[in-house]
Structure 1
Amino acid sequence: MTESNKPQILIVDDLLENLISLESILDDFDIDIVRATSGMEALKLTMKNEFALVILDVQMPEMNGYETLELMRQRKKTRYVPVIFVSAIHQSDLHIIKGIETGAVDFIPKPVIPDVLRGKVKIFLDLYNQRVRLDHLLREMEVANMNLKIAKEKAEEATRVKSMFLANMSHEIRTPLNGVIGISRLLQKSGLNEEQQDLTNIIAKSGENLMLIINDILDFSKIESGQIQFENISFQLKEMVNNVYLLLRFKAEEKGIDFSYTIDQNVPSVLCGDPLRINQILMNLVNNAIKFTPHGKVEIRIELVDEFEQSARILFRVIDTGIGISEEGKQVLFKEFRQTESSMSRKYGGTGLGLAISKNLVNLMNGEINVISDEGKGSEFYFRLPLKKSTVEEREKELKYQLPEDIRILIAEDNLINQKVFKLSLKQLGYNSDIAQNGREAYDMHIADPYDIIFMDMQMPELDGLEATSMIREYEKENVNFPHTYIAAVTANSLTEDKNNCIDAGMNNFLSKPFSEKDLINILQEGFKVKANGYLVNYE
């Protein structure tokens, strides 16, 4: 196309009067017309310019129209340019057939009827303009796709950096917090007087509240980055709801609030899903209900919405007589880092993430969550979840193993406070343990005198937990008579990729700081169970 950006039409005829006649017929079109008086000149022009249409005479000296078109069709640039033959040779259909077979799109006999030529030219001009617009759109799409690719790469990098930052911050915060919570729990069992017990309880409670905030932030990050994973296991609904009730009952009693739960008899007793995440959502809603209810009651109601052969839809309702929510507050209720009023976080505390996390979790489980509330009249939060029915009437109870007294335990930990917490926690359970200051020392101590269970911190100087574990597994592989030890990662990192890295390195389990006594007992029991069953590591 020329600088005028108009479509170009090439007219090829050896007679000037014919060129002028054709140009006059097309005078009304907003186009640029280019002349050629021979086939050779036409070929040269087609190599320099882009034409919307070529009007080509058949009878010309040196090279006729058929020969010219054949050469045009052999070149990539002109292979698909539409060509209309205009010729006085039309006594026989053979000429027209030959023109079409050569690659022309039409054949117009002379003398040319102006309306016929204009009509046909208009069709090809419209097609050309549409192609130009389509090419323009494709170029825009290519640019947009490139920009999207760049934006995607930047977003992925930002997510990666954020995940690394959160993992590092989680480790840095959880490590000292493990010491605070661990020591406070040990003090609670050390025969303190009443005043000391109250002060220790405050320390423990504050640490646990801080841990809830950290977990909220990490959960929100996992959901954002798509790292959240759901289990699909059988669980007893009543047991799960009862656990929520037992955990929050004392909080309700402290405020003088009536707290109860009811489960409709039609609700299946055993279901399949992720009980941990359902428990998390329910805990959040009930905790909020108690927090924002100064007096009255909080009630959990579980009902059956509908039931099918292999699944059921369950309705979870949390009803309170609390402060209620304004219409404006409902608009921001499930948004992250938001509370219904700016003064809420100062008066009641919290990150403003709990409901946002709950909503995301419900949505990811193909459910729905909402609220019914009037300001000053209480609220009802509810969520519906589709859950599979379990064919298991009752979950299999895990067999508890009594650990032998002479079990050898090694703690690989470089933080002095966490060493003390860990060692004292094991001592309260009746077990002695040895300390390794880093991964290298843990490896050397284990090879010299094998341990039954190793608690391996992931971040240590000289040799970290992953490297030390890989070396131990390699040694076990090369020395078939060397006993296989149970290795549990003990780390402040809690992202999915961290857990996967531990398993890939050959670890058996994963223990997040700060851990509870129950968590520790579970690891010890599983460690002995695996050892008792002759566990062998899969090195493939």
Structure 2
Amino acid sequence: MLQELKKSHKKDFTQYILLDNKGNIIDSDGVFYSQIINKNISSLHPFFESFSYSLSIPKKELIFSCIHLNTDKGNIISDILIKTLDDDNALIIIQDLSTHYKNYQLTAQKRNESVINSQILELKNKYLKEKEEFKNNFIANFSHDIREPLSGISTFVEILNKTNLNAEQKGYVNLIYASSNHLKHMIEDILDIAKKEVGKLNLVEESFNLKVFIESLVLSHQVKAKQKSLDFELELDSKTPEFILGDPYRLKQILDNLLDNALKFTHKGEIKLHVSLNQIRANKASIHFKVSDTGIGIEEENFEKIFDSFTQLHQEHHIQGNGLGLAIAKSLIELQEGTISVTSIKDKGTTFSTNLSFKVDNSNPQKVETNSTIEIKGKKEKYHILLVEHSEITQLAVLKILAAKRKFYLDIVSDPEDVIPILENQNVDVILMDINLPKLSGDELAKQIRQLSDKTLKKTPIIALTGKVFPEDLKRYKKAKINEVVSKPFDEASLLNAINKHLK
């Protein structure tokens, strides 16, 4: 009888057990459990105790899936079919599906791991995004907040230098000026490294006179060289174009850092800056810059290390510095698709060289005046300026700069909510506006001014005074119809030149 039942219910890896309605085993083929005839089914495994009540119900069929059994052949994972027959007997079919369930479990595990990994990746991306946003906001706010006091220092040092100081007082002022400049350069270097990491180190393009730029840049370094009893030599190729289009601020950073590095590590001999024209093609000039010194030199194995941030090779010489100068120079050169090379001989000197490309400006650009030559060009006897600024230092700095020219009336507003009522009741020639105002940002306030019904106010020049000058910031200011941006820390020349451009 069992053989007939096996044929009609045949399955691979299967044991067939025939038992009576009391659970006693009548016959079995012994695939997993051997020598079990005349035993009770409940003795094989505790699982079988659970369905003994159903053996007395005729034509009953029960299916149990994924049952773990400890058999004579080892542990298996099985499906079990229990079927009661017409003759008060019952058939149990135990099918070994261990491979199937293990594969299923492995598939489910992989799927779960994939889901978990996907969730981890999503959380990681969210964390990185939040970290990036925090870093960007920190850099922007820190940049603005640190430039505020620097503007005050720069302005008042200039003002003090124009007063009747004795030699000792001038010495103190010059010391403050040198220290503030050093602080400013350190802060700018740190901010530039941070901006580079978040992809916000960008170039602007403006016209400037290369010869005037180089001679002005060299002047301060010649003074430093003289203080160390060093010779400073400039070689400027007469073939270089007069006016070029590029980023003079970034070029100044590159050359300042290279020259400062040369001055720092040279104790006798000379510093030399060589500027020459490689070629002009398609109205683009390739210009070669070379800074050489007769200093302590660098070992060849350290040529790569010197361009790493915060790296100082000659600490035994106790030379002041933050280890950022060459890293900044290299970053800015690479930003302009250039490369920097170094050659050096220990105790004899070092030479840094780079080639940078600039567009040649043939449009006869106007010369920007320095603070010593600036004249207010407008036709009015006096102009009405509205300054919207919450920093008392900046307020006083702007007041002193404008008062010295005797061409301006100045109203100062600290609260942005007071600006609209003033503009509706007074005629203003130029609005100077801080961006980082309390309650309302300067660009949002500019939008409100442009939306006023008075057509004159729609055209009144608005000049932003801010330390937030990332590309996305400048786009936002342009969208708010701000006419000009003066970056903090500003000096007398940059402020007056910006105002002059918008006077009628």
Task: State if a TM-score over 0.5 links the two structures.
Answer: yes
Matched residue, 1:390: 360
The answer to whether the 8 Å contact 1:488/1:511 transfers is yes
The answer to whether the 8 Å contact 1:450/1:483 transfers is no
Matched residue, 2:342: 371
- The Cα of 1:365 is off from its aligned counterpart by 1.5
Any idea what the Cα deviations from partners look like across 1:403-453, whole Å, max 9, x if unmatched?
A: 333100111122223222221121112233111122112232222102111
Q: Residues 308, 462 of structure 1: CA spacing in aligned structure 2 closer, same or farther, 3 A cutoff?
A: closer
Q: Residues 465, 308 of structure 1: CA spacing in aligned structure 2 closer, same or farther, 3 A cutoff?
A: closer
The answer to whether the 8 Å contact 1:330/1:340 transfers is no
Q: Residues 342, 391 of structure 1: CA spacing in aligned structure 2 closer, same or farther, 3 A cutoff?
A: closer
Compare CA radii of gyration and give the structure with the larger one.
Answer: 2
1:467 aligns with 2:444: yes
Matched residue, 1:261: 234
- The Cα of 1:275 is off from its aligned counterpart by 3.4
State, as a whole percentage, how many aligned pairs show the same letter: 33
SS of the counterpart of 1:333?
Answer: helix
**Aligned residue identity for 1:484:** K
Q: Residues 252, 432 of structure 1: CA spacing in aligned structure 2 closer, same or farther, 3 A cutoff?
A: farther
The answer to whether the 8 Å contact 2:262/2:293 transfers is yes
1:288-299 alignment, distance < 5 Å:
288-299=261-272
- The Cα of 1:193 is off from its aligned counterpart by 1.7
Q: Residues 327, 154 of structure 1: CA spacing in aligned structure 2 closer, same or farther, 3 A cutoff?
A: farther
Q: Residues 443, 390 of structure 1: CA spacing in aligned structure 2 closer, same or farther, 3 A cutoff?
A: same
Q: Residues 226, 243 of structure 1: CA spacing in aligned structure 2 closer, same or farther, 3 A cutoff?
A: same
**Aligned residue identity for 2:482:** M
1:192 aligns with 2:149: no
Matched residue, 1:352: 323
- The Cα of 1:294 is off from its aligned counterpart by 1.6
The answer to whether the 8 Å contact 2:451/2:458 transfers is no
- The Cα of 1:342 is off from its aligned counterpart by 3.6
Matched residue, 2:69: none
Any idea what the Cα deviations from partners look like across 1:178-231, whole Å, max 9, x if unmatched?
A: 323322222221212222221122222212221111111122222221122223
Q: Residues 320, 446 of structure 1: CA spacing in aligned structure 2 closer, same or farther, 3 A cutoff?
A: same
Any idea what the Cα deviations from partners look like across 1:106-164, whole Å, max 9, x if unmatched?
A: xxxxxxxxxxxxxxxxxxxxxxxxxxxxxx99999998887666545433332221121
- The Cα of 1:252 is off from its aligned counterpart by 1.6
The answer to whether the 8 Å contact 1:326/1:375 transfers is yes
SS of the counterpart of 2:202?
Answer: coil
Q: Residues 148, 240 of structure 1: CA spacing in aligned structure 2 closer, same or farther, 3 A cutoff?
A: farther
**Aligned residue identity for 2:321:** G
1:500 aligns with 2:475: yes
CA distance in 1, matches of 2:236, 2:149: 41
Matched residue, 1:86: none
The answer to whether the 8 Å contact 2:275/2:290 transfers is yes
**Aligned residue identity for 1:416:** E
Match of 1:453 among 419, 424, 430: 430
SS of the counterpart of 1:246?
Answer: helix
CA distance in 1, matches of 2:389, 2:365: 36
Any idea what the Cα deviations from partners look like across 1:372-392, whole Å, max 9, x if unmatched?
A: 11221111011122x255261
The answer to whether the 8 Å contact 2:341/2:352 transfers is yes
Q: Residues 516, 348 of structure 1: CA spacing in aligned structure 2 closer, same or farther, 3 A cutoff?
A: farther
CA distance in 2, matches of 1:241, 1:137: 65
- The Cα of 1:366 is off from its aligned counterpart by 1.4
Matched residue, 1:428: 404
1:210 aligns with 2:183: yes
CA distance in 2, matches of 1:308, 1:492: 37
1:170 aligns with 2:146: no
Match of 2:464 among 486, 489, 505: 489
Q: Residues 270, 195 of structure 1: CA spacing in aligned structure 2 closer, same or farther, 3 A cutoff?
A: closer
- The Cα of 1:318 is off from its aligned counterpart by 0.4
The answer to whether the 8 Å contact 2:368/2:497 transfers is no
- The Cα of 1:288 is off from its aligned counterpart by 1.5
CA distance in 2, matches of 1:140, 1:388: 54
Match of 1:413 among 389, 393, 405: 389
CA distance in 1, matches of 2:178, 2:361: 40
Matched residue, 1:63: none
The answer to whether the 8 Å contact 1:490/1:511 transfers is yes
Any idea what the Cα deviations from partners look like across 1:235-257, whole Å, max 9, x if unmatched?
A: 44333322321232212222221
- The Cα of 1:330 is off from its aligned counterpart by 2.6
The answer to whether the 8 Å contact 2:333/2:339 transfers is yes
Q: Which runs of 5+ in 1 are unaligned?
A: 1-13, 20-135, 533-540
Q: Which runs of 5+ in 2 are unaligned?
A: 1-6, 13-108, 370-374
1:277-316 alignment, distance < 5 Å:
277-305=250-278, 308-316=281-289
Q: Residues 421, 232 of structure 1: CA spacing in aligned structure 2 closer, same or farther, 3 A cutoff?
A: closer
SS of the counterpart of 2:493?
Answer: helix
More deviation in 248-257 or 496-505?
A: 496-505
Matched residue, 1:380: 351
CA distance in 1, matches of 2:252, 2:131: 31
**Aligned residue identity for 1:177:** L
Give the alignment's Cα RMSD to 1 decimal. Answer: 3.6
The answer to whether the 8 Å contact 1:320/1:380 transfers is yes
Q: Residues 141, 334 of structure 1: CA spacing in aligned structure 2 closer, same or farther, 3 A cutoff?
A: farther
